[in-house]
Amino acid sequence: MDDAELRINVTPTLRVQVVDRLRQAIIGGRFQGGDRLVERTLCDQLGVSRSVVREAIRTLEAEGLVDTTPRAGPIVARLDWGQAAQVYAIRRLLEADAAAACARMASPAVQADLAAALQGIEAALADPARARLHDATTAFYRIIFAAAGHDIAWQIVQRLNGRISRLRALTLATSDRTTSGPAHMARIAAAIAAGDAGAAADAVRAHLDDAARIAQTLLGDA
């Protein structure tokens, strides 16, 4: 992503656009862990005011994508295995439970929505930029949590979404994961469609355990 891609050209919901653009820049690796986020520089790159940039940084800090240090100011949060392991553990609990509940009550409409979401994920993966992968995968899990009636659990997952997306981008950099990830998600959807709560939960755990193994290899045990 270059400076031209960062710049905002339209102003409706400007703060939301800036948050989304910076989030994608962090997830996509334009900004690396430990990089300083200098307000003046970001104002020039994005073409927006300092107050908008400041608000966006606060939002990204709440998502765990930005840390603020006393001396350096806001920096891109560093990603380590200790934090990643916690994210995967939380997801394993919440998503397996939601998938099982969804399988017990999934209607044909929910099954159709999951099938459409899987197609969206495949389309996003086919795009080299993968700009819409975050939205596509979020849609898949939103359907599961909504059908399960796990609203509070979904709010918790949403708070982790920034970290989840960074880990997803990290693991998808390996060629195996671009194949195994969608295959795991297809098995989750198939188990839900079959009304098999145990298989749905097991498919979620297998999916996340696979991703966690790759992340641990890439991040090390630090």
Read off the amino acid at residue 94. L
> Which residue in 157, 162, 201, 156 sits closest to 60, CA to CA?
162
Q: What is the pLDDT of residue 8?
A: 59
Structure-block tokens of residue 113: 């929505």
Cα distance between residue 203 and residue 191, in whole Å: 8
Final residue of a domain: which of 61, 76, 91? 76
33 shares its domain with 90 = no
pLDDT at 11 over 60: no
92 shares its domain with 43 = no
92 shares its domain with 72 = no
Q: What is the pLDDT of residue 175?
A: 61
Final residue of a domain: which of 76, 108, 123? 76
181 shares its domain with 205 = yes
- Note the pLDDT tens digit of each residue in 88-112: 999 999 999 999 999 999 899 999 9
92 shares its domain with 157 = yes
> Which of 21-30, 65-74, 168-177 has the least mean pLDDT?
168-177
99 shares its domain with 204 = yes
Q: Which residues pair with 76 in a beta bridge?
A: 66
pLDDT at 118 over 70: yes
Structure-block tokens of residue 203: 């498919």
Residue of 174 and 76 predicted with greater confidence:
76
17 shares its domain with 66 = yes
pLDDT at 66 over 90: yes
Query: Looking at the 3D structure of the chain, how many domains does it have?
Result: 2
114 shares its domain with 46 = no
109 shares its domain with 203 = yes
> Which of 26-30, 53-57, 84-88, 187-191 has the least mean pLDDT?
26-30
- Calculate mean pLDDT across residues 122-135: 80
87 shares its domain with 65 = no
Q: What is the pLDDT of residue 127?
A: 82
- Calculate mean pLDDT across residues 137-161: 95
Helical H segments across the chain, by residue range: 3-6, 14-27, 39-46, 50-62, 81-105, 108-126, 133-148, 151-159, 161-172, 175-193, 197-219
66 shares its domain with 85 = no
Final residue of a domain: which of 76, 95, 110? 76
pLDDT at 192 over 90: yes
**% the chain with pLDDT above 70:** 91
Cα distance between residue 44 and residue 63, in whole Å: 24
> Which of 9-18, 108-117, 120-129 has the least mean pLDDT?
9-18
- Calculate mean pLDDT across residues 126-148: 87
CATH value at residue 149: 1.20.120.530
119 shares its domain with 191 = yes
- Structural domain including 162 reads 81-219
